[in-house]
Structure 1
Amino acid sequence: MNIFLTGGAGYIGSAATEILLQNGHNVTVYDSLVTGYRAAVPKAASFIEADLEDQAALASALGSESFDAVMHFAAFIEAGESMQNPGKYFHNNVVLSLGLMEACHQVGVSRFVLSSSAAVYASSDEPLSEDSPLGPANVYGQTKWMIEQSLEWYRRIHGLRYAALRYFNAAGALPGRGEAHHPESHLIPLVLQVALGQRPEAEIFGTDYPTPDGTCIRDYIHIADLIAAHLLALDGLEDHDQL
């Protein structure tokens, strides 16, 4: 397939690009490099440095060839920041995603795989399932839920097939491809940076969580498993219009 992939210079997006290429797909990465790294984009992928805000550039890129699907990873992802600056998150995550959906409709892209988040679910003391009640506890989660709802309307009205993958914290690395963020906020790379002498200490936040030692417990998924799920979702849209 010909895949148009946003956010392909980031941690998850670049890993997805690499695995897609290994599986014989052609990938065009569209990334503004605001938080991503040009060096992270696999050399075999086509690369367009542009912002989703630039509707002319987006329309030109999507219309440059016949794309079979869009995989949308580009987003601001810091839950804490989203509560301090909600407008930034609603605009970047929701408004620009709507522009991407409309551009897909205009050029006839029929499949859309969204990097969503488990943050769309309501807080629960029990393990979550796919069908657990929704109810974001922060603006970041709300933006992902709004994107999902918008995709559903584009499916109903325009026939855009979509999959929304609601995952927790991605972790781990592919061979030769590690975890890096800008700014860095994930515990595992922070600890590794301390071990490498790149920062003096790793600060552990929170002492009053309902856990044995009072610190936070996170749910993780390995990056390789996460990307495998994206490829399965992409294939699943051949026979389903919503996943």
Structure 2
Amino acid sequence: MNKPVLEFNKVIFHYKNSEAPILDGIDLQIYENEFISIIGPSGSGKSTIFRLITGLEVPFKGSILLNGENVTNRLGAVGYMPQQDLLMPWRTVLDNAILPLEIKGIKKEIAQAKVRELLDDFGLQGQENALPGNLSGGMRQRVSFLRTILSGSNILLLDEPFSALDAITRLTMQEWLIEQWMKRKKTILFITHDVDEALFLSDRIFVLQQKPHTFIQEVKIPLGRPRTIRDVSKSEMVTLKEKLIDQLRSKVSK
């Protein structure tokens, strides 16, 4: 087993305007180079977990470790890709991509050179001078992911990044994301409402139960790598999918 890069130790959290805990003594370990998906009904706390990891919220009790260290100020310590790409419409692909490097104080010419080296890998060669409004949804998400990679963190948080894409583009982006993840050896946490997407992408799935969360169910995916989308149609995967959907439905109906 690889070393843990993200750990929750007895984390308790509630929002300031409520004393009802969302997380109540949660322990989690996420390992180097893992791909973890988080699924659960709307309002179950998926985004809250991301806000805690990024440092936008802090635990009421417990600790969150990044790469073995108890990092109290986590702002900027992990890469984050939101559901909306948040590209600046007046900036070109190149100038949108260099933003995290600019924030670090890297000179524009050096930052641009670094991004140019990656354009081909990200399917953006020849688009460096295009404005976001002239890009397809898939290409905009590639720029957003490139920007996330350039954060320099070994931990990347992806919050439903493909939810607005059509089915074919979404599948293409899933396959491309797996290629990039395997090539760059990052740890990815991925929020999704799509069980098929979680099954195809993940090593493990975290299933959020009813709040307050005293534990988080973990489901290990019985597929090796490399894998194809057809592997999700195997009998054991269909059975697992049905079980997960039944669980999610039961949480919504309560």
Q: TM tier, shorter chain?
A: under 0.3
Considering fraction of residues, name the structure with more strand. Answer: 2
TM-score normalized by the length of structure 1: 0.26
TM-score normalized by the length of structure 2: 0.25
Higher relative contact order (CA 8 A, sep 6+): 2
